[in-house]
Amino acid sequence: MSVAVALAEVRARIDAAARASGRDPAEVKLVAVSKTKPVEAIREAYAAGQRAFGENYAQELDAKARALADLPDLEWHFIGHLQSNKAKLIARAASLVHTVDSVALVRELARRVEASGRAALPVLVEVNVGNEPQKHGAAASEIDELMVAIAAQPALRLRGLMTMPPFGDPEAARRVFATLASLRSLHGGTAVLPELSMGMSQDFEIAIANGATLVRVGTAIFGGRG
């Protein structure tokens, strides 16, 4: 299947899932996860109208942003675990960092954004909702502390929450997505945290039913990563 056809199918599924839960499809943004895929695949998706792309390695985002600098309205979303020493690589190019999960990272990212001279960088707090030991993300009990740390940095702008559910278990995913939505309500609601980044190829429809505003879809658009 071509990237353009796969994208059209995913968009149609997003629209249907939004309507099925009484939501406006325009509230759900598709982030096409292009990690490990060549820049040609991104150009193909761009030609089909896609503008937001997700990467989870800082070096790869940096290299692709340079290679595609001729496409000025591309949006780069950083969705991987960010080590403080890699913050510099994405500080300028990223439109949204989905994975802020420590105060140390907040400080380093803010420092790098300031040094780059760009406008404030929008960020999400990644929450390890299921408290899975092998996963990154802040514990729910750390959200307040992170919100305070981000609010203290003029270089960063808090936009919402992000999570990754356990793999291959739709019922567990539903519970995790519903929990993220209630954590948002607990911490100021949509006025403070307008974005919920949740849902991947296998579960984005469940995420939309639970309020996702950003879905991160790779395999269903670009094929498997081998």
- Residues of this chain that bind ligand PLP (CB under 6 A): 33, 35, 56, 79, 164, 200-202, 216-220
For residues 54 and 77, is the Cβ–Cβ distance under 8 A?
yes
In the complex with ligand PLP, which residue's Cβ is closer, 10 or 155? Answer: 10
Smallest distance, ligand PLP to C-beta of residue 4, A: 17
Helix (H, G, I), strand (E, B) or coil at 38: coil
In the complex with ligand PLP, which residue's Cβ is closer, 162 or 193? Answer: 162
Smallest CA-to-CA distance from 28 within 157, 202, 209 is with 209
In the complex with ligand PLP, which residue's Cβ is closer, 29 or 155? Answer: 29
Smallest distance, ligand PLP to C-beta of residue 201, A: 3
Smallest distance, ligand PLP to C-beta of residue 212, A: 12
What is the CB-side half-sphere exposure of residue 175 using CA atoms within 13 A? 9
The residue sitting closest to ligand PLP, measured at its beta carbon, is 218
Residue at token pair 């395999």: 219
In the complex with ligand PLP, which residue's Cβ is closer, 160 or 218? Answer: 218
Token readout for 80 is 């991987």
Q: Where are the alpha helices (DSSP H) in the chain?
A: 3-20, 39-47, 58-67, 87-91, 103-116, 143-151, 170-186, 189-192, 204-209, 219-222
Smallest distance, ligand PLP to C-beta of residue 190, A: 22
